[in-house]
A = this chain, B = another copy of it.
Amino acid sequence: MDGQASKPRLDGRGSRAGDQGLDAVSKDDEVNSPLFNNSLAKGLDMLAKFRNQRNGLSLVELAELTGMTKSSAQRCTFTLESLGYLTKDPKTRKYKLSPKVLEIGFNYIGNNMLVDFANPYLHNLNKETGETVNLAEPYGSNVIYVSRFQSMSHIVAYMSVGTVIPMHCSSSGRAIMSTYPREQQERILDASHLHAYTDKTVTDTDTILRAVESCRTTGIAYTIEEYFPDDLSLACAIIGANGQAIGAINLSVPSSRWTLDDALARFGPQIKQAAFAVSSLKTL
């Protein structure tokens, strides 16, 4: 008959922009399935809208951000506050996330075999080198940090587990990409915004692909001040059962104190050794 999915869908959900280049595949069919629960999607979307909103969000702001009607937003905030995921400042009536959201997030880490298995190796690497060591997992066209052991002397950035960074400008991301087939590497870069976070960020696709390719032979990927200033980062992929990366270990030093060659010579073998050890966990 009509055959067209031309339903107006003015209910706000559906665009889901700002997803940072994740889900490259269109999921429009899924949201139109009779199984898809819109109310749930709206509530989660609302929670996600609190990213970088230090001062909290008012009801109308939330309605605008999510594209809901004020009524819908009202029901959403009421429910989320009842459940303890949001708190409302009684004076300003602005909503903020409550610690309860952390608990949900933490369940991911608490259930994560890779984190469990890798932690002793990360700790050891941190102890031997005295430098900051991270464990990251692939997350769409980004990496997400799931474990972290900081250097005591110099800290380049106060960044928490859960932080998301694009693959293309992170050493871990490049190390992970290096285990993917070329076509997938290109798809990742296409889905990325290739934003220049610093004046050293490489945004040229070919240059990035060459860097990734070189990691294939050396085993170590690196970035120099491409995301955090004064940060020189080396990474090595953790290989899963299918031969592709399930994560990466990276080590960061201040670029003001280290040259790339010195850092590679000093830390490269140790990072590789740790990543190799963790790669033996083939439970994927």
A269 within 8 A of B: no
A161 CB, min distance to chain B CBs, angstroms: 6
Q: CA A40 – CA B48 in complex, angstroms?
A: 14
**Which residues of B lie under 8 Å from residue A108 when comparing CB positions?**
50, 97-99, 101-102, 105
A217 within 8 A of B: no
**Which residues of B lie under 8 Å from residue A80 when comparing CB positions?**
40
Among A123-131, A194-202, A232-240, which stretch is in contact with chain B?
A123-131
Taking a contact as CB atoms closer than 8 A, the residue among B43, B105, B130 that contacts A152 in the complex is B130
Instruction: Give the number of copies in the complex.
Output: 2
Taking a contact as CB atoms closer than 8 A, the residue among B54, B75, B144 that contacts A103 in the complex is B144
A58 within 8 A of B: no
Kindly name the residue among A54, A100, A146 whose own CB sees the greatest number of chain B CB atoms within 10 A.
A100
A17 within 8 A of B: no
* Contact yes or no, B48 A82, CB < 8 A: no
Taken residue by residue from 128 to 170, chain A's Cβ proximity to chain B (1 for < 8 Å, 0 otherwise) reads as 0010000001010000101101101101001011111000000
A265 within 8 A of B: no
A31 within 8 A of B: yes
* Contact yes or no, A54 B106, CB < 8 A: no
Taken residue by residue from 105 to 127, chain A's Cβ proximity to chain B (1 for < 8 Å, 0 otherwise) reads as 11111110101100110010011
Closest to A116 in B: B158
**Which residues of B lie under 8 Å from residue A104 when comparing CB positions?**
44, 47-48, 101, 104-105
* Contact yes or no, B50 A107, CB < 8 A: yes
A179 CB, min distance to chain B CBs, angstroms: 18
A22 within 8 A of B: yes
A4 within 8 A of B: no
A84 within 8 A of B: yes
Given contacts A35-B79, A150-B150, 7 further A-B contacts (CB under 8 A): A101-B104, A102-B105, A110-B160, A115-B160, A116-B158, A126-B152, A152-B152
A contact residues vs B (CB 8 Å cutoff): 22-23, 27, 30-31, 33, 35-37, 39-44, 47-48, 50-54, 74-76, 78-80, 82-85, 96-111, 113, 115-116, 119-120, 123, 126-127, 130, 137, 139, 144, 146-147, 149-150, 152-153, 155, 158, 160-164
8 CB contacts below 8 A, A to B, read A36-B75, A39-B39, A51-B107, A99-B146, A101-B107, A106-B162, A119-B158, A123-B152
